[in-house]
Amino acid sequence: MDFIQALLLGLLQGIAEWLPISSSGQAMLAMVNLLGVEPEAALSIAFFLHLGSLMAVLVYFREDLLAMLRSAVSQSDDARERRTLSFLIYSTLATGIVGVPLYFAAKESFARIGEGVNLIIGVALLLTALVLRLSPASGTRSVEGAALRDMLLAGVAQGIAVVPGISRSGITVAALLMLRFRGDEALRLSFLMAVPAIAGANVLSMLTGTEGAIAVELLTASIAAAFIASLTGIRFLLGAARRLRFEYFCAFFGVLAVLAGILAVV
């Protein structure tokens, strides 16, 4: 991988992060099929690239995050911020319980199957398309009325998104819509849930390592590009994500990946 490829990979991840098309799945497909990266290493690199998205969320939602921290250490009467903080805590616990075992299972599987990873990502993209297609229109609920069950279910949905091809933003928003949350509230909660989820995923990636997979300077360039693209994506692509039918995009790339996986096997 050269410097330009590293930049383009970061841009791909950063743009795809906020659209329900699985940024990790798209990044892995690009690395495995275009750059010749081994699937196991590509999984770890894909999670490292999310650091750029994490920094973008911290910048864009800094006021929300600071308000939640203030509500935790003061006697503030802001029920909305306190409830949002509780939502993030409980959903993150559920994400960890579901996501950590799935992460190690995915690493082990990708180390064995080689190019068959296309088939797995393709099927996951098709499942994401189905979930997006079946998700209802905006409901009426807000975070103030969120129950523990809502928090745990949203966290479980996010944990499943550890599998490349399952869109984190897509499946969490769909889960919240199915629980009858308002569309804007579902998007806000999904973005805020990304903070602890991405941080935790990168801790796992650092523990398992990517030695020899990509040079540090190239990884840094990719993360920087992902940050710029993510910050731009939050500001300008959110409106498009509400209007366009991204299940068709998922289905298209899912079919391509499945076909590539079948051809690799045969």
User: pLDDT tens digit string along 68-80?
Assistant: 888 777 766 677 8
Q: Quote the tokens at residue 96.
A: 């960890």
Q: Is the pLDDT of residue 211 over 60?
A: no
What pLDDT shows up at residue 55?
A: 92
Q: Is the pLDDT of residue 244 over 80?
A: no
Going by C-beta distance under 8 Å and a sequence separation of 6 or more, which residues neighbour residue 43?
24, 28, 106, 107, 110, 164
**Spatial distance between the Cα atoms of 120 and 163, rounded to a whole number of angstroms:** 9
Binned at pLDDT 50, 70 and 90, residue 43 comes out as confident
What pLDDT shows up at residue 224?
A: 94
CB atoms within 10 A of CB 77: 8
What pLDDT shows up at residue 99?
A: 92
User: pLDDT tens digit string along 46-66?
Assistant: 888 888 988 998 998 888 888
In our burial notation (b when 16+ CB lie closer than 10 A, e otherwise), range 96-109 reads bebbeeebeebbeb
**So where are the chain's domains?**
3-265
Dihedral Cα 119, 15, 32, 108, nearest 10 deg: -70
**Spatial distance between the Cα atoms of 84 and 51, rounded to a whole number of angstroms:** 22
User: pLDDT tens digit string along 162-207?
Assistant: 888 888 888 998 899 899 998 888 888 988 998 998 888 878 777 7
Q: Is the pLDDT of residue 265 over 60?
A: no
Q: Is the pLDDT of residue 210 over 60?
A: no
